[in-house]
Amino acid sequence: MASVLRALRGTDTGLTVIVSIADEGQRDGDPHQRLTGAGVEELRRSLEALSGDGPLLRAIRRPLTIERLGRHPLGNLALASAASAFGDYSRASMWLGEQLGVDGAVLPATIEPAKMVDRKAVFELSGGRGRRRGRKVRKLRFVGERTESPEVAVEAIHNAEWVLLAPGALYRSVLSTAAVPDLAAALWSTPARVVWIANLVPDPVEAADLTAIEHLLVMRLHGVRVDVVLHDPSAELKFDAEELMRNGVESVSSGLRSRTDPSLHDPQGLRSALSSLFSSRSVRAVGLA
């Protein structure tokens, strides 16, 4: 996500970023959850990635040690405190973004921290060539009384020309945001093109045994719409353009890998690839991760 945001920072893109604040099932009494009440790491990191260097940015990155609760970046504490004061994480994030001079908005995927749970079952995944085989894949679901998304986040998706699904952990990042019911419904109804910026390598923890096309099929299993897959043909996680086409998805290949770490996306490579995609129309983009 940070690579995508650095690629778009300083461009004319009207950008709204939507990230998960879900509880990923940590044990009761986890210090981070007790302290912030939500998973605010992605909110803070996204704000940092869109900020220019300055004393406030350096301050919110500074870790503080709190007795019995460990070390936490000051930005996490600021977001939690502002959310308590404003009554929700959307306004807290927008307030901190204003202080940092962020051009755009960083929003939580849910109004309140949702809890994600998963169940393992055998789902039939089709690889697009008539083959079907049983695969044990995780199916996420969101539990709790309030899993609604902020209205401003839903409106941003409806009003966008492009929606970007950022690379990241398949379950902890992509699905924990894009599969939230309100956001998934908005993805299906938006006139925007939905572009998934694919990972470069398999996730060794969450999706080590999934092929590239199976990543896409798991996203569809969760009701996530994808129109275009932006991928690097030299990446370890390889997509076949014809297979994507058979699954009704456009393939766009481009050099995206960082020279120093081939598992990471290069912001300049992403900027070039996204610029080519965006060149045909004005841009209001939404990034989900």
- pLDDT tens for residues 47-96? 988 887 788 888 878 877 766 666 778 888 888 889 889 988 999 999 99
Q: Is the pLDDT of residue 132 over 70?
A: no
The residue among 223 and 23 whose pLDDT is bigger is 223
* HSE-CB of 138 using CA atoms within 13 angstroms: 16
> Is 165 within 8 Å of 216 (Cβ atoms)?
no
Q: Cα(276)–Cα(272) distance, rounded to whole angstroms?
A: 6
> Is 19 within 8 Å of 108 (Cβ atoms)?
yes
> Is 158 within 8 Å of 189 (Cβ atoms)?
yes
Q: pLDDT per residue over 259-289, tens digit each?
A: 899 889 999 999 999 998 888 665 566 666 6
Q: Is the pLDDT of residue 223 over 80?
A: yes
CATH superfamily of 2-22+109-288: CofD-like domains (3.40.50.10680)
Radius of gyration of the chain (CA): 19
* pLDDT for residue 280: 62
For 268, residues 6+ apart whose C-beta sits below 8 A from its C-beta are 7
| Beta-strand relationship, 14-19 and 284-288 | parallel
Q: Which residues pair with 251 in a beta bridge?
A: 229
* pLDDT for residue 129: 46
Q: pLDDT per residue over 163-212, tens digit each?
A: 999 998 898 889 999 999 999 999 999 999 999 999 999 887 777 788 89
Q: Cα(287)–Cα(166) distance, rounded to whole angstroms?
A: 7
Q: Cα(220)–Cα(143) distance, rounded to whole angstroms?
A: 20
Q: Is the pLDDT of residue 8 over 70?
A: yes
> Is 278 within 8 Å of 230 (Cβ atoms)?
no
Q: Cα(207)–Cα(191) distance, rounded to whole angstroms?
A: 30
> Is 255 within 8 Å of 269 (Cβ atoms)?
yes
> Residue 26: which pLDDT band, with cuts at 50, 70 and 90?
very low
Q: Cα(184)–Cα(178) distance, rounded to whole angstroms?
A: 6
Give me the residue spans of the domains in the chain. Answer: 2-22+109-288, 26-104
